[in-house]
Chains A and B, each alone.
Chain A
Amino acid sequence: MSILDSKIPEGPLADKWTKHKNTINLVNPANKRNIDIIVVGTGLAGGSAAATLAELGYNVKTFCYQDSPRRAHSIAAQGGINAAKNYQGDGDSVYRLFYDTVKGGDYRSREANVHRLAEVSTNIIDQCVAQGVPFAREYGGLLDNRSFGGVLVSRTFYAKGQTGQQLLLGAYSAMNRQIKRGKIKSHTRHEMLDIVKIDGKARGIIARNLVTGEIERHSAHAVVLASGGYGNLFYLSTYAMGSNVTATWKAHRRGAHFANPCYTQIHPTCIPVSGDHQSKLTLMSESLRNDGRIWVPKRKEDAEAIRAGKLKPTQLAEEERDYYLERRYPAFGNLVPRDVASRAAKERCDAGFGVNKTGEAVYLDFAAAIQRYGEEKAYTSGVDNPTKEEITRLGEDVVEAKYGNLFQMYEKIVDENPYRTPMMIYPAVHYAMGGLWVDYNLQTTIPGCYAAGEANFSDHGANRLGASALMQGLADGYFVLPYTIGDYLAHDIRTGKIPTDTPEFDQAEKEVKDRIEKLMAGSGEHSVDYYHKKLGKIMWNKCGMSRNEKDLKEAIDEIAALREDFWKNVKVPGEANSMNPELEKAGRVADFLELGELFAKDALNRNESCGGHFREESVEQDGEQKGEALRDDKNFKYVAAWEYKGAPKDAQLHKEDLVFENIELKTRSYK
């Protein structure tokens, strides 16, 4: 187990990071000029890391598959970014942010990492404001905050519903400054297809130029993977179409352990699938659950009539509706955490109460909120004896001011007016807590290969809290990695430039080319999407919101069989040595077909329910919590890090025991 040394510094929790920064090795400015670093991915983590490393003086090469670093999928994050600034004076602190994050993660993350995250969170806001990120402000000119799910303070900074966009454009502008200085060489429309190891250390990558199809060699003294999460494994998700696991999976195949792949977050409020043609799902912000009530019809006949278009939801009387979250969780009601809300929606739909034509949707109803706000507004604006219509109109105005852009987006996609008829929503995959295993320095089990942001496993445990993804990406990129990587690179100041005409590069390039050739040589029976959709179905049905031993075992076999079929029969048109989007997709789906199997194996191994991972075998048997998730701290209080051994099902498990010195482990209850 020595390989899983988390390298957590000694000493009291609150002093660890400061002490670590004071004692690790530094590289002097003159030597930094002679050191090259590759950064794969230019989202919040990669973009901020690249800019900061270049500011420090390293020579940075960035790679992204998009046509510009500005288009990385961090851009789609809506809600906000947490920071323990305590600007609202509501009792927030570094400790509270740390505590909320560990608890929210269902006690499956590392205390020291999360505390560091909370510590640097305040620096992120200062840094972004200095860059000109236009956060929302109050009339006094100071920064505004909002509250987010699962916490008792207002610590979320935001820029309307486009916080991710504004933060990413901030990191992109910092990158641009370094590109102009010549310290970053930006490679767009490039995809990393392998990592090159020399003497056991990461020393470069093989990349494909997506415009020309050319296979290129790039060397460096260290490689940073900031390539995001792997949720597209499920085919339908809120990820971008191009989001993929390829960079991290190639690193896994070369020796980087993959941690907790089964921890994925399924967000309860997304616009449901409308048909087989669907390519992507759209999130409706979590904030809607503050005012919307979730329900399905009480009687199955009514649900069937609605599905057949013979009945409208507004025709059902109050007593004919089942507000199942309020019924099951009277204390938290519609504001239960994401994992609980998602599972409850699935349970009702599986039981036959789902509402749109596919039967996979529940209602999110604003009628009560419109009524309540309307009455309030009528009272405060002095309208005596308002009519029902007046109240509705006033209430709609209030709701529009709060959620107008979301309602408009919904109407564009679904073609229904959500002010007049309840919204339909259903859970969808939207974040991966699992990822490459990293130590406290964000180094993977390959020396010189680092992972940052969603690509690593480190900070969110088994469930991520809202507005914490942006915080972690920028913490890793701006404030953690640029320090910790110096400790490793201090040993490389005499190494000199890494040549690319070596047997290791020859071999890696050959393997990449062989694989492309093999993809192009399929018998041509089915398109790449055919396989991706099939994989998505297996994942969703057997490794989705609720999992059991039988399904997971079947999934492992089915994915292996699908993978075999894929390699024999996939059809990739066009040529390898030119622009070929189908070939790009084929390579990514091939990797998903391996990850899926490991995902199922990890879910099978973890015979407990924690956070986003729910095992039907591990539920509370009696008492008030009967039927709810049952965590098993005695047997599973560890990080599952998998070592590649050929077929994914043969991966070898390494455990990193999680030690809780500062926080007491408790059951999460929402009854």
Chain B
Amino acid sequence: MKRHLTNHSLDALVSRIGKTDVLACYQCKKCSAGCPVTPDMDILPHQVIRMIQFGMKERLLNSKTIWLCASCETCTARCPNDVDLAKVMDVLRQMAINSGEPLGDSRVPFFHSAFLSSIRKRGRIYELEMIAKYKLKTREFKKDVKLGIMMFLKGKLKLLSPKIKGKKEIKDIFSQAEKGMTG
């Protein structure tokens, strides 16, 4: 990791947080060849790495690609140079959220925020509440209603919220995470 232009360049930052060396990439495109979501991406996985090397931060942080990556880890498993691309995607998503700029996808970030707010409140996922929160944000009220009813009839959706004793510990973990972000 000694080859970075400056300690503050994008490649240095992503490499440090992601504990991987993005300069090791020689553009063999194996990541993009094996990625299941490339047809829907606006920037291909190997291009993500190249653009990090070029410092194209804004373009990456408001891309669709970072939200469509399914974290399947195929790229990471197959990279001949040990670039942890799945982890790089995590780092870019985290940077995008912290940037406060408009995001490249309207649904996935809402999903994550509804999911995490359920954990924060209850320690475990309460599916009904999580989905309600998500739908209020996306306004997609009609989608998957039948699926939800079927799930309920098959005993797969609980009516009552889960409860854990260590709720305070969970709240503390979330507060610590927030402090880390601002500090």
Q: A and B: real partners? A: no
Chain B interfacial positions (CB closer than 8 Å to A): none
